[in-house]
Every structure is written in C-alpha cells, then in structure tokens.
Amino acid sequence: MKILHTSDWHLGNRMLDKSRTEEFRDFTAWLLQLMREKQVDALLISGDIFDNSTPGDSTLELYHDFISKADETGCRYIIITGGNHDGIALLDSSGPLLKRHNTYMVSSLKKEESNKCLIPLQHRDGTPAALVCAVPYLRPREVSLSVSPDADINDAYIRGIRSVYDEVATHAQEWKAANSGLPVICMGHLAVSGAEATASTHRTIGLLDEVSKSIFSETFDYVALGHIHKGYALDRGRICYSGSPLPMGIDETENRHMLLVDVQQDGIRTEEIPVPLFTLPVRHECSNVDELNALPGIVAKEAADCNRVCLQLIYSGDDLTTDQLKAKADELFKTLYHYKITFRRPGMYMSVEEEEVDDGLKNKSPEDIFNICLEKHDLSPEMAAGVTACFRKVLSDLNI
C-alpha cells in the first residue's frame, strides 16, 4: 500500500499581498497527476490545509475541487486532520462532500474521544492493510489536565497531549494484536524538539513551544507530522515532517517535498517526492539607482526555472523620491508576476526580521489577525463565539 504524507498547504495564503490562487491551483493539478502516476492508495494531510479559519470563496472552491477529483486518481482514502490555523467548524462543514469522496476529517479531538481518530485501511481485495491514527492539533482547552493554582500550565498542557497519544497508542496496540502486527501510522500537528523550523513557521502551539518525541509510542511504525514547514526526519526516519509543499517565506524555497510511504510486508519504506517551485519568492536590497537598474538581470538568473517571481524590493537609497522609485520599478519589473517595495530610509530603519513581521500583518485581514489572537487564548467555545460575534459587529459598524 502506498501512502502519501503531506501537510501545511495553507490554502488562502498571500505572498507580499498577492493572492496565490493560481499557484495553489497549479499545485493541486500537479498533485492529482502525481497521485495517478505513483498509484497512491491513501493521502494524509497532517493539518493546516487552510491558512486561516475563514478562507475565501475561491479558496474553498479550490479545496472542494481537489477533493472531488482525487478519487478519480485511484486514491481510495484521503485523511485530513485539523491544524492550528484551521477552523474546526469550517472543516466540519464539508462533511457531506467528504463522505462521497472517501475522505475522512478529524478536525479536533478531546482526550475522552481518542478512539474516534482510528481509521483502518484495507487493501483493494478488502483485507486489512494498516491503521491510521489521525490525531489533529490538540488545543489546550481540549486536553489540558487539571492543575493546582501555583502549578505550571504548560506542564498541564504537555501532560494532556501525552495522555491523548498514550490512549491512542493503547487502542493501536489492541488493533495491532488483532491484525497480526500490521503497521500503525500516527498523524500529528505539533512541534517536536529537535526539528528545524524556518523563520515563517509559527512554532508556538497555543501555550506550548515543543514536546519530546518520546510521546510517540513504538507502537507507531511511522509518525506523519505537520506544523514545521521544513521537511525533517527524527528517530531514524520513523518520525517525519513532510514540510509545506509551497514556500510560505523566502527561506523556504529549498527542499520542498512530500513523503511517499510504502507499506510492505517486511516493513515501511519512505521516498522523498520533490515539489516543483510554482512561484519563486525573492528579496533584494538596493541602495541606489544603479543597483536598481542591475536587479532585473539578477532576478532573471535566479528565476531561470520558474515562470512566476514575487520580489520584495528593499530600497535604502535617498537618490529617488517615492514617486520616482515607483515609476522606475514599474518600468523595470513589468514582466514580473508581482513585486512590492519596502523603504528603508535614514531614521526609519527596520531590520529584516521586523520587515517580515510587518509584511506578515499586512498580508492578513482584520479577521485573520483576530483569529490568530483568539487561538492564543484558552476560551470556551461559547465564549469564543460571543467574542467573535462582537468583533464582527464592530467590523460591520466600521464598514470593514
């Protein structure tokens, strides 16, 4: 049985204020072809299929179009888990569509419902092949164990996460014993100590930075993780991040891949499947007009194998006015897919890191930023719904 492990699609993400719908459409078309060529039996998406909890109509159309076409490739299972960027209600709203297309969604999981994430896979002849334990991102309010007032709340959260994975492992052991030791694959969306993160990866999960890889029982023959945008393997390849297939930042253009997990009688083998670069994000700084004039040639060499380029131009010179720079850039970069200028004038210096944060906020709508803030507070569903309703009324009153 061939299983394709991917995560962190972040559908709806914007690059330098530019919509990426065309890029995501090219990616899903490429993925459907790959699934046909590799004869993939099951596709695992380990969280953050969306970039935020309220994706736009074009993003939802793209998602539903992919789901509706995936079973035409011969793939018999699609298993999606919720990530920290995904909205639970939104993921669950597609339930009727998913059922018609052999797709399983585990949007959230409470510690007393650990058996609900178990999804047995079968060979084409109907015999058991493997068990998938589809564990989503675990929110503090769902899994945190009780603590005394002076106890560390992070410790309660870590123990809660471990307790869920322990219970899932117990169910998996029982299934394994009843099925002649067939493989068990566990999904997860969290940051594990030792994994390398890129600058654009949001490593903080609620109140927690990282957990130990020891939370994954040896019962799990393969652990398919999401959340870290860079592909990375731990524990001799038993625990793997597939990474985001598309770059979410300029530091993520290298080593983009998915993992093809081949479940055989004598064990599990993994193969990295490179993902094409559909859009190249680049950053360059110019301090004068001569450097600016030379930049198109430099960018052309960098983008020799990519049709789309998103350029962040940082201009630190004082030899051009804002209007002159804009006119010059329009002339020089008219063939580029997209570019954006960031000024670095004397007296208004911003570090690269600050620019990245600022750009990240500019790429977000007010509701996106509200949802990010909401995720960082452990509110009950009722309280979260009330706060959200108030926020949306304010937006409506302001005509935003």
In this structure, what token pair is assigned to residue 366? 């007010």
Compute the average pLDDT of residues 390-397: 64
Please, are residues 23 and 308 in contact by the beta-carbon 8 Å criterion? Answer: yes
**Confidence at residue 378, expressed as pLDDT on a 0 to 100 scale:** 60
In DSSP terms, 189 is beta-bridged to: 226
* Confidence band, pLDDT 50/70/90 cuts, at residue 74: very high
Whether the per-residue pLDDT at 2 is higher than 50: the answer is yes
Compute the average pLDDT of residues 255-259: 93
**What is the domain partition of the chain in residue ranges?**
2-274, 280-362, 366-398
Residue ranges with strand state E in the chain: 2-6, 14-15, 18-19, 42-46, 77-81, 103-106, 118-122, 128-134, 184-189, 222-226, 232-234, 239-241, 257-264, 267-274, 280-286, 309-315, 338-343
> What is the C-alpha to C-alpha distance for residues 160 and 378, in angstroms, rounded to an integer?
14
**Confidence at residue 382, expressed as pLDDT on a 0 to 100 scale:** 63
Compute the average pLDDT of residues 113-140: 94
> What is the C-alpha to C-alpha distance for residues 273 and 379, in angstroms, rounded to an integer?
40
- Radius of gyration for the alpha carbons in the chain, expressed in angstroms and rounded: 23
> What is the C-alpha to C-alpha distance for residues 83 and 340, in angstroms, rounded to an integer?
30
> What is the C-alpha to C-alpha distance for residues 196 and 91, in angstroms, rounded to an integer?
28
Residue burial 291-312, b: 16+ Cβ < 10 Å; e: rest: ebeebbeebeeebeebebbbbb
184-189 and 232-234 strand pairing: unpaired
Please, are residues 321 and 292 in contact by the beta-carbon 8 Å criterion? Answer: no
Phi, psi of 344 (to 5 degrees): -135, 80
Phi-psi region of 384 (alpha: psi -120 to 50; beta: other; left: phi over 0): alpha
Q: How many CB atoms lie within 10 A of CB 49?
A: 26
In DSSP terms, 101 is beta-bridged to: none
286 against 142, higher pLDDT: 286
Overall size of the chain counted in residues: 400
Whether the per-residue pLDDT at 149 is higher than 90: the answer is no
* Confidence band, pLDDT 50/70/90 cuts, at residue 144: confident
- Domain 2-274's class? alpha beta
* Confidence band, pLDDT 50/70/90 cuts, at residue 204: very low
Angle at 361 between CA 355 and CA 363, to 5 degrees: 100
* Confidence band, pLDDT 50/70/90 cuts, at residue 365: low
